[in-house]
Amino acid sequence: MLTGERQRLPSWFKTTLPTGKKLVRYNQTTSSIHDNALHTVCEEAKCPNVHDCWGRGTATFMVAGQHCTRGCRFCAVSTLKKPPLPDSNEPENLALAVENMGLSHVVITVVNRDDLDDSGASHYRACIDAVHQRTPDVQIELLCSDLAGDTDALSSLLDGAPLQVFAHNIECVERLTPNVRDPRASFDQSLFILETAKKIRPDVVTKSSIMVGLGETNEEVTSAMKSLRNIDVDLLTLGQYLSPGKGHHPVVSFPTPEQFDIWANEAKDLGFSGVASGPLVRSSYRAAELLDGANGFSSEGVFEI
């Protein structure tokens, strides 16, 4: 039953604060991000893995501002119809932070910018190019918006871009999309962007993510995974949805870790080359490890969290 009450988390939802060297690295990561006036999805989306990832010296940077033009019911990022223009200094600031943090794999995620003619594609590309120019050996993963279905914008973003992974999240199963995501987003449009990206750049790994606990059935999760494999998406993450607060979509259920293992095995059988599946998994969680393991799928098919 859907209610606005905050539910008690199951026993498997436990995270630990960093200590020792991880605490030092966490503080260094925090300083690098804030000193360069950057935003991270780790903070904006209230990710439960922020201490783990920042303790490892990794972070998912969010570019083009801290306000999104869409109002999805699952998301904690604030919404504005017309946010400030993207910061022209952001690409170089991002590149400096990546260099200073000594990263080997960086995830760049974006807010939707429906207010811009190209939905922000040119700014996203500038960020990618700046990182590559300053740190050419760093692997770059872009977690992109649907660019309002604009194939010209997508082509300009991807053509010749120094990317290893192009990610775009379908977020939830098809039936729930109208209730969970902004009306300008759709299940089919997300599939279209992923499929078109693979056609434009078949050499780039494609990736998507599914949240569960929103009221879907197990069969619908399987169907969503099949839809992604039908368009040759390579990597998949599955994680538990946690409501950011009142006014957002409520949590309907908490699938068990065992159920996440079942989905991971299904994903393996469907042909995904890499999958991270677990209650605390998020779309960018241990992204480098997922990419590195894509050519040799783990026997369990799930990262320990």
Domain boundaries, the chain: 17-304
Binned at pLDDT 50, 70 and 90, residue 292 comes out as confident
Binned at pLDDT 50, 70 and 90, residue 53 comes out as low
- The predicted-structure confidence for 232-269, as pLDDT tens digits, reads as follows 999 999 999 998 888 899 999 999 999 999 999 999 99
Q: Three-state SS for 260?
A: helix
- Cα–Cα distances (Å) from 279 to 44, 86, 270, in that order, read 20, 34, 21
**pLDDT for position 244:** 84
Q: Three-state SS for 258?
A: helix
Superfamily designation of domain 17-304 = Aldolase class I (3.20.20.70)
| Count of beta carbons in the 10 Å neighbourhood of residue 219 | 9
- The predicted-structure confidence for 175-208, as pLDDT tens digits, reads as follows 999 999 999 999 999 999 999 999 999 999 999 9
Block residue for tokens 């952001």? 90
What residues have CB less than 8 Å from 100, skipping those under 6 apart? 32
154 within 8 A of 122, measured Cβ to Cβ: no
Mean pLDDT for 30-37 is 56
Is the pLDDT score of 218 beyond 90?
Answer: yes
Q: Which of the listed ranges 71-75, 203-207, 279-283 does the model predict with the highest average pLDDT?
A: 203-207
pTM for the complete prediction?
A: 0.85
